[in-house]
Structure 1
Amino acid sequence: MVLGILGSGSGSNMQAILDAIAAGTLDARIALVLSDNPDAYILERAAKNGIPSGVIDCRGFKTKFPEEAQAETAARLKDAGVELVCLAGFMRLVKRPLLDAFPERILNIHPSLLPAFPGIAAWKQAVDAGVSETGCTVHHVDDGMDTGPVILQEKIPVLPDDTDKTLHARIQLVEHRLYPEAIRRLAQTALR
């Protein structure tokens, strides 16, 4: 399975995917890493691993993912032979034409049990809401915010003394296991 990664930050989920590939538990290859943030550590991770990477030109918009930028991103991913696009902390809403270029082949990992707590800082939303459990979800990307069909979910208790940071750290540990597993399952079934 040839993967393309889109990220905006540190790329810890990309690293978990690389680790699963190196361990032989995921039969895949990352062909391209793209970021909307030229200073994102995910680009350095890509360089350290010899993976081609680049910056997405979002035309100066802070949060919007302009249609032209999405078309360019789709073309770059296609040119790299990407079969499955994995969002790894990518902080922009994916719409068309990127969705059309990779129908049902764009995944995201979200730090909550969707549909609960969509959007940013889901771990903080969970702590603020006083819930007893949250989790993480790997899902297909559609044109909504964290609304696509769920592939895998795992529950995580919210401990009485949890802060946003401690809960987020525990969620990330599960994310790093769950994301490669979801990719592996998809590679063995629906995408072949």
Structure 2
Amino acid sequence: MVKVAIFASGSGTNFENIMQRVTAGELPNIEVTALYTDQAEAECIQRAQPFNLDVHITELKDYATKADYERAMLKQLEREGVEWIILAGYMKLISATILDAYESRILNIHPSLLPKYKGVDAIGQAFTSGDKETGTTVHYVDSGMDTGQIIEQRQCPIYEDDTKADLEQRVKSLEYELYPKVIAEIIQ
């Protein structure tokens, strides 16, 4: 079994999708040790409850520096024997403290065809861009914002009569298919 930790900051739908697949045996060689979040009020915390999963809430405001914050997280990751980190809507850049310890072992999913539309509201950026397509990208995490090596991408069209919500749903559906597939291929 490969021990992984999932980091999330928001609603946790990608986290929940991964956990459902682990529970269903679709990711049979993966053990999720815990959910790590930087937001005490994040919806992902409630999504963790049905899986009887430990939740570690570590907020940057409780530490003098970001390095101290990441050292606290790294100690917990090491105690749990975590071998890989999966980001699922984690909204903080990972810095050297964790990057050095998990070099080439941190995955992220981003709702655009990187390198286009890095950072927050990538779907909104694509929606207003006039582009005819967008998609989702799974990539390794490095020190930049959505700049790590691309592992795999999936495209989806942007239709003229789309609402932003329509596009968000289509991109989310792609994420729910692509991320577990890549996790299985890379980690297992």
TM-score by length of 2: 0.94
Deviations along 1:45-70, one digit per CA (max 9) or x if unpaired, are 22221111121120269xxx811111
- Unpaired segments of 5 or more residues in structure 1? none
| 1:158 maps to amino acid | I
Q: Aligned partners of 1:32, 1:23: CA distance in 2, in Å? A: 17
Cα displacement (A) at 1:134:
0.5
CA distance in 2 between counterparts of 1:185 and 1:106 reads 14
- Residue in 2 that maps onto 1:179: 179
In 2: Cα distance, 1:45 partner to 1:127 partner? 28
Which residue of 2 is the match for residue 36 of structure 1? 38
Structure 2's unaligned 5+ residue stretches are: none
Q: Check whether the contact 2:40–2:59 (CA below 8 A) recurs between aligned residues.
A: no
Q: Which amino acid aligns with 2:50?
A: K
Residue range with higher mean Cα deviation, 46-55 or 141-150? 46-55
CA separation of 1:24/1:97 partners in 2, compared to 1, >3 Å: closer, same or farther? same
- Measure the CA separation in 2 of the matches of 1:110 and 1:55: 23
Equivalent residue runs for 1:1-192 within 5 Å: 1-27=2-28, 28-59=30-61, 66-188=66-188
CA RMSD of aligned residues (A): 1.4
State the 4+ residue runs in structure 1 displaced beyond 6 angstroms.
none
Code of the residue aligned with 1:146 in structure 2: it is D
Q: Work out the CA distance in 2 between the residues paired with 1:47 and 1:69.
A: 25
Give a deviation string over 1:148-182, Cα, whole Å, max 9, x none: 00111100111111222211111011101111111
Equivalent residues, number: 185
Query: Per the alignment, in what secondary structure is the counterpart of residue 60 of structure 2?
Result: coil
Cα distance in 1 for residues equivalent to 2:89 and 2:185 = 21
Measure how far apart 1:25 and its partner are. Answer: 1.9
| Letter aligned with residue 57 of structure 1 | E
In structure 2, distance between residues paired with 1:107 and 1:26 = 15
Mapped to 2, the partners of 1:8 and 1:140 lie a distance apart of 18
